[in-house]
Amino acid sequence: MSKLRFDVVQDAFKKKAAAVETPEGKMSDYFGELVFNRDKMRKYLDAKTFNALVNCIDNGAHLDAATADGVAAGMKTWALEHGVTHITHWFQPLTDGTAEKHDSFMEYDGKGGMIETFDGKALVQQEPDASSFPSGGIRATFEARGYTAWDPTSPVFIQDDTLCIPTVFISYTGEALDYKTPLKKALKAVNDAALPICRMFDPKVNKVMSYLGWEQEYFLVDEDLYAARPDLMLTGRTLMGHASSKNQQLDDHYFGAIPSRVAAFMRDIEIAGYKLGIPLKTRHNEVAPNQFELAPIYGETNLSNDQNQQMMNVMNSIARKHGFVVLFHEKPFDGINGSGKHNNWSLGTDTGTLLLAPGKDAMGNLQFVTFFVNVLAAVQKHNDLLKASIATATNAHRLGANEAPPAIVSAFLGRTMTAVLKKLLEVPSDTPIEIAGKKGKSLGLVEIPEIFVDNTDRNRTSPFAFTGNRFEFRAVGSSANCAGAMTTLNAAVAEQLIAFKKDVDKAMKAGKPMNIAFMDTLKPIIKSIIDVVCFDGNGYTDEWKKEANKRGLDVETNVPKMFKSFTTKKAIDLFTKLGVYSEKELEARNEVKWETYTKKVQIEGRVIGRMAINHIIPAALAYQTKLLKNIDLMKDVFGEQYSAMAGVSMGIVTRISELVTDLRQQVDSMVEARKKANVIEDEYEKALAYHEIAESLFPLRKTIDKLEEIVDNDMWPLPKYRELLFIN
């Protein structure tokens, strides 16, 4: 028999912090212990193999079969020393999370025994049965073959007893079936587009990197309470639950002392992360109770994104050891903040220049302004697409709610950069852009005050904010794979930089010096963006929605409709010209997105319906019966006077009847709506129908929440918000 809610809560309260795994030595001693990084390559590969592999990683050179065999042999030796028995190609299909299929090293040795084998072929390519991963119809199920192919730019790592090889995942006919493939293409596109511009400023530049620093927000709940909530278990969020009397209104959780059970968990995930070479830097409490954040030092985007996926896996598994479950859902609890994954993004050169930070001299500043303005132009042109790139059924609960990202993509510049851009429009094109002292003197020059460099003003309501040396794309969801947003952003910027360079070249051919050609090209762009995508005001207000609409920014709030942005002519041009997605891939991915959207809402609809019928209504009726018995007893004891004395009980009895009737009707009409939606063939139309159903779940839960308010606490079958959110 299942335990009573009260017992479950008591047990959860009594839990102590679990013991922390403490490795020997300093953190730097075990950092990267479980990744096949350059140190391991040096140690386990001969010089020729090492050089060939490094050339492949750094310069994209082809890796021949003999080298691959050499690399595999070295990896095997290293892996066996760590007790590894299996290998897997580790990839990122279009689902939540990563996928892996483990094969052991084991092989017959031909002499009646067994040996461990691992060769270049097994390292470089595998053919998993791919038919069960979402493909949007690219690969009919009878053509089950898909390939995983090694991505040598992200290091191989060990997870428990398994050697994990980061790979791309593509169909038999070459279409991407994952997040990594298009991301890598977009990263190449942005390098190709930015490099020629950077070389005009510094001919020594050979490569432009895109950088990502993610800030992962998450909730922790006690695993016993989690197990008592079917909605959390099956959908990742609470589909019902009355607000706790106290939640985040005192602002006492943000940056507060970390509870000991949570601190122990954080230490363990950090140690695991360090061993995987993930440079975790920041941990703190977030705004909502039981909400936390983890962030590493930023790194190259593809690598950093892999590390985010690895960390999510690590967090999921280590949480269990501490009696917790991690919630990555964007909105696990109604009425308090949800979770995002701010993507701090920038571009930088292999010579160490950050292209979105002010430079050392006037030309360095011109380069900075060039990239700064072109990024904004790209965001303006593709604001609809950027929003679509972060839109999901789960993130929809954050979008447009009063927190981080409004459902409109605009950019926050801050006072300094707004002033710089405005000044640039006034002065002659050959005016140098200077870094001034702490306050910035006014000499008619264009000046970036020194203090700005490490102290940008903040605007928490902007989905895309400039923060001194990078932009922070805040609209990304906490459960998302960052690649979706990063592919779109890098591609959009690449397209803009190509167009910009063309215009600069034209101006220089006409005889203009470089700085004037740049400024003359930048000025009309600045004019076109300054009053459109640039917005420093409060993004949460209704006025902004109206204003944004007037400015021509996309204000769509319906998630299935947002996905349409991926197949407009503008988007198809962008992605096909850069070779990031083919038209077929774009269409297929939208099919997957609509299908996923539909399924997520469908599951939520089923869960809330069944919980209403099997948990909530029985509990409400049981309490009603108890009240009726009370009324009956009153009558026995007090005779005629009973009705005045049993007024409270009778009121609740009536109220329960009303609410239970409403609830039953709401469930029935939701089930009817689902039946109708389920027979729609077209994935887009079906997702639209499910969007309506998603909207109807809110009033339904409100009825349940009203019942929670009046039903006997002892008889309520589910852990409540105050219990889920305040036990650690």
Closest to Mg ion by CB, 397 or 470: 470
Cα 424 to the chain's mean position, in Å? 36
d(Cα 237, Cα 493) in Å, to the nearest integer? 35
Please return the burial class of 606, using the count of CB atoms within 10 Å of its CB with bins 0-12, 13-18 and 19+: middle
Looking at 10, 260, 282, 541, which residue binds ligand ADP (CB under 6 A)?
A: 282
d(Cα 234, Cα 702) in Å, to the nearest integer? 20
Closest to ligand ADP by CB, 216 or 590: 216
**Partner in contact with 398, chosen from ligand ADP, Mg ion, none, beta carbon below 5 to 8 Å by kind:** none
Closest to Mg ion by CB, 342 or 720: 342
Closest to ligand ADP by CB, 206 or 459: 459
Contact 444, 539 (CB under 8 A): no
Specify the stretch interacting with ligand ADP by CB under 6 A; choose among 294-302, 327-335, 591-599, 707-715: 294-302
CB of 211 to ligand ADP, least distance (A): 4
Q: What are phi and psi of 37, to 5 degrees?
A: -95, -170
Q: What are phi and psi of 322, to 5 degrees?
A: -105, 10
Q: What are phi and psi of 175, to 5 degrees?
A: -80, 145
**Partner in contact with 473, chosen from ligand ADP, Mg ion, none, beta carbon below 5 to 8 Å by kind:** none
* C-alpha closest to that of 368 among 181, 202, 128: 202
Contact 294, 282 (CB under 8 A): yes
Tokens for 242? 């009355």
- Sign of the C-alpha dihedral computed for residues 127, 133, 139 and 143 taken in this order: positive
Site string (330-349) toward Mg ion, x via CB under 5 A: ------------x-------
Q: Is 354 in the site for ligand ADP (CB under 6 A)?
A: yes
d(Cα 591, Cα 587) in Å, to the nearest integer? 6
* C-alpha closest to that of 605 among 667, 684, 678: 667
**Partner in contact with 282, chosen from Mg ion, ligand ADP, none, beta carbon below 5 to 8 Å by kind:** ligand ADP
CB of 297 to ligand ADP, least distance (A): 5
Tokens for 456? 């940008």
Closest to Mg ion by CB, 342 or 589: 342
Task: Indicate the residue type of 311.
Answer: M
CB of 344 to Mg ion, least distance (A): 6
Q: Which of residues 184-243 bind ligand ADP (CB under 6 A)?
A: 211, 213, 215
Closest to ligand ADP by CB, 100 or 403: 403
List alpha helices for 82-179, DSSP H. 120-124
Closest to ligand ADP by CB, 112 or 352: 352
**Partner in contact with 295, chosen from Mg ion, ligand ADP, none, beta carbon below 5 to 8 Å by kind:** ligand ADP
Token match 């679509």: residue? 388
Specify the stretch interacting with ligand ADP by CB under 6 A; choose among 5-13, 311-319, 343-351, 422-430: 343-351
Three-point CA angle 78, 79, 83, nearest 5°: 125
**Partner in contact with 365, chosen from Mg ion, ligand ADP, none, beta carbon below 5 to 8 Å by kind:** none
Specify the stretch interacting with ligand ADP by CB under 6 A; choose among 70-78, 192-200, 339-347, 703-711: 339-347
Which single residue brings its beta carbon nearest to Mg ion? 342
Q: Which residues pair with 294 in a beta bridge?
A: 216, 283
- Sign of the C-alpha dihedral computed for residues 714, 717, 720 and 723 taken in this order: positive
CB of 357 to ligand ADP, least distance (A): 7
- Sign of the C-alpha dihedral computed for residues 82, 87, 88 and 89 taken in this order: positive
Closest to Mg ion by CB, 342 or 593: 342
- Number of residues counted as binding ligand ADP (CB under 6 A): 14
Tokens for 203? 């001919």
Site string (299-338) toward ligand ADP, x via CB under 6 A: ----------------------------------------
Closest to ligand ADP by CB, 36 or 345: 345
CB of 342 to Mg ion, least distance (A): 5
Closest to ligand ADP by CB, 460 or 502: 460
Site string (285-324) toward Mg ion, x via CB under 5 A: ----------------------------------------
CB of 69 to ligand ADP, least distance (A): 37
C-alpha distances out from residue 447 to 420, 421, 443, Å:
7, 10, 9
Which single residue brings its beta carbon nearest to ligand ADP? 213
Closest to ligand ADP by CB, 494 or 517: 494
Task: Indicate the residue type of 144.
Answer: A
DSSP string, 210-268: EEEEEEEEEEEEEHHHHHT-HHHHHHSS-S--PPPSSSSTT--STT-PPPHHHHHHHHH
CB of 218 to ligand ADP, least distance (A): 15
d(Cα 728, Cα 723) in Å, to the nearest integer? 10
Looking at 32, 296, 405, 560, which residue binds ligand ADP (CB under 6 A)?
A: 296
Specify the stretch interacting with ligand ADP by CB under 6 A; choose among 293-301, 326-334, 523-531, 535-543: 293-301
- Number of residues counted as binding Mg ion (CB under 5 A): 1
CB of 411 to ligand ADP, least distance (A): 16
* C-alpha closest to that of 385 among 196, 190, 581, 202: 581
CB of 282 to ligand ADP, least distance (A): 5
**Partner in contact with 261, chosen from Mg ion, ligand ADP, none, beta carbon below 5 to 8 Å by kind:** none
Q: What are phi and psi of 295, to 5 degrees?
A: -145, 140
- Sign of the C-alpha dihedral computed for residues 313, 314, 315 and 316 taken in this order: positive
Q: Which residues, 6+ apart, have CB-to-CB distance to 246 below 8 Å?
A: 722, 726
Closest to ligand ADP by CB, 344 or 395: 344
CB of 562 to Mg ion, least distance (A): 24
DSSP string, 583-617: HHHHHHHHHHHHHHHHHHHHHHHHHHHHHIIIIIH
Looking at 180, 331, 470, 686, which residue binds ligand ADP (CB under 6 A)?
A: 470
CB of 474 to Mg ion, least distance (A): 8
Q: Is 453 in the site for ligand ADP (CB under 6 A)?
A: no
Looking at 9, 87, 99, 295, which residue binds ligand ADP (CB under 6 A)?
A: 295
CB of 566 to ligand ADP, least distance (A): 25
CB of 214 to ligand ADP, least distance (A): 6
Q: Which residues pair with 326 in a beta bridge?
A: 220
d(Cα 104, Cα 353) in Å, to the nearest integer? 44
Q: How many other CB atoms are there within 10 angstroms of residue 531's CB atom?
A: 9
CB of 458 to Mg ion, least distance (A): 9
d(Cα 346, Cα 365) in Å, to the nearest integer? 16
Q: Is 297 in the site for ligand ADP (CB under 6 A)?
A: yes
* C-alpha closest to that of 342 among 393, 390, 274: 390
Q: Which residues, 6+ apart, have CB-to-CB distance to 178 below 8 Å?
A: 91, 92, 93, 94, 168, 169, 170
Closest to ligand ADP by CB, 349 or 598: 349
Q: Is 460 in the site for ligand ADP (CB under 6 A)?
A: no
Q: Is 344 in the site for ligand ADP (CB under 6 A)?
A: yes
CB of 294 to Mg ion, least distance (A): 12
Contact 60, 49 (CB under 8 A): no
Interface residues with Mg ion (CB under 5 A)? Answer: 342
Q: State the residues that interact with ligand ADP by CB under 6 A.
A: 211, 213, 215, 282, 295-298, 344-346, 354, 469-470
